[in-house]
Amino acid sequence: MIPFNKPYLSGNELEYIKESVMSGKISGDGVFTKKCHRFFEEKYSFPKVLLTTSCTDALELSALLLEIKPGDEVIMPSYTFVSTANAFALRGATIRFIDSNPDNPNMDVSQIEPLINENTKVIVVMHYAGIACEMDTVMALADKYNLYVVEDAAQAIDSFYKGKPLGGIGHLGAFSFHETKNIISGEGGLITVNDSRFSLRSEIIREKGTNRSAFFRGEVDKYGWVEAGSSFLPSDIIAAFLAAQLENLDAIQQRRKSIWQQYWDGLSRLQEAGKIRLPHIPDYATNNAHMFYIICTNLEERTGLIQHLKQNNIHAVFHYLSLHSSPYFQEKHDGRPLPLTDYYTDTLLRLPLYYELTDEQVQYIIHHILQYFE
């Protein structure tokens, strides 16, 4: 079976984990955590970053920083992972979901402004497949109505919008290093703090509501409980694994982009024949090869293709189910139809994409997709 995903050891992961253990400090904010922080701040010019235990935690930390409370409204896409919404639902916010674009699963930013009212506090964008949302409109609306913007950049490491790194455009951003992402640490995440108003409080809330980080920098002579917070920082062992991955970011990206391009070249004739749709990358966005997906005509066709690939030892998977019609939320939804979100729910199929996927395996997968349609 060709799996959908396979975690990849890029070089020094095990050596760095050993080094971390032998250092005698494996709790959070150790040597490797600081090394990872420096990498992101130097490579992408993020003003401030903090590793978290997951992207989910980075999003929940964002909701705490923005002081989300019952009665606040948060606008976000319906076609996204549950964590995007859950972080704000936990604070009691009212979620207002937006439909997807006709040409890609990202949220249709033209639908945002009609939903803004006096209770609206945050716009959350999700850069699906690492492809940027149209951020100029989002940021202009945030300025016009005095709103905050949070970027769910879980899939968007090393991807850009008009030359700006994703995760560094909104007030806050959240990345994932789950084992299915380009750069991994098993679990793990990162919050980017792009607005200096949140710089100090992000440390405090992440460190259980204490000013412990300031204490270790010698800025205060003792630390204590100064705000409600939680424990969002990961072990330095996780950071050690991540540090090794970051050393090989360029090589990992080069290989993933090669696989992505092979899929595109091999399947383009099906798109030209109108049998499937391939990923659309707007002129303002770059492709970080997080994912290669195809859009089938309907649910039955996708189900049949999944079975066909499975019979030929290829594991392909569909993706998100519409959050607005989920068991938890369907009775909370305001009733607006979101047809394109439902369309992607029924028709989008993700193909295997990981560093050690060979060219021969890619061609084998392409062959069986062509076989199914032709």
The pLDDT score that the predictor gives to residue 223 is 78
The pLDDT score that the predictor gives to residue 221 is 65
> Would you state the torsion angle of the CA atoms of residues 337, 338, 340, 345, taken in this order, to the nearest 10 degrees?
-110
Candidates 118, 111, 197, 125; CA nearest to 161 is: 125
What span, in angstroms and rounded, lies between the C-alpha atoms of 134 and 136? 6
38-64 tens-digit pLDDT:
999 999 999 999 999 999 999 999 999
User: Which part of the chain has CATH 3.40.640.10?
Assistant: 13-247
The pLDDT score that the predictor gives to residue 60 is 97
Mean pLDDT confidence for 64-68: 97
- How would residue 215 be classed by pLDDT, with cut points 50, 70 and 90? low
Mean pLDDT confidence for 316-340: 94
Tell me if 184 sits within 8 A of 158, measured CB to CB.
no
Q: How high does pLDDT run on average in the chain?
A: 96
- How would residue 349 be classed by pLDDT, with cut points 50, 70 and 90? very high
The pLDDT score that the predictor gives to residue 208 is 87
Q: In the predicted model, is pLDDT for residue 365 greater than 80?
A: yes
User: Which part of the chain has CATH 3.90.1150.10?
Assistant: 249-373
Contacting residues for 2 by C-beta, under 8 A, at least 6 apart? 313, 314, 315, 352, 357, 361, 364, 365
What is the percent of the chain with per-residue pLDDT over 70, rounded to a whole number? 98
150-201 tens-digit pLDDT:
999 999 999 999 999 999 999 999 999 999 999 999 999 999 999 999 999 9
Q: In the predicted model, is pLDDT for residue 214 greater than 90?
A: no
Range from 119-133, 205-219, 243-257 carrying the lowest mean pLDDT: 205-219
- How would residue 226 be classed by pLDDT, with cut points 50, 70 and 90? confident
281-309 tens-digit pLDDT:
999 999 999 999 999 999 999 999 999 99
The pLDDT score that the predictor gives to residue 217 is 67
The CA distances from residue 287 to 157, 168, 227, 261, 322, in Å, are 10, 17, 40, 10, 24
Q: In the CATH scheme, what architecture does the domain 249-373 have?
A: Alpha-Beta Complex (3.90)
pTM of the model: 0.95
Q: In the CATH scheme, what architecture does the domain 13-247 have?
A: 3-Layer(aba) Sandwich (3.40)
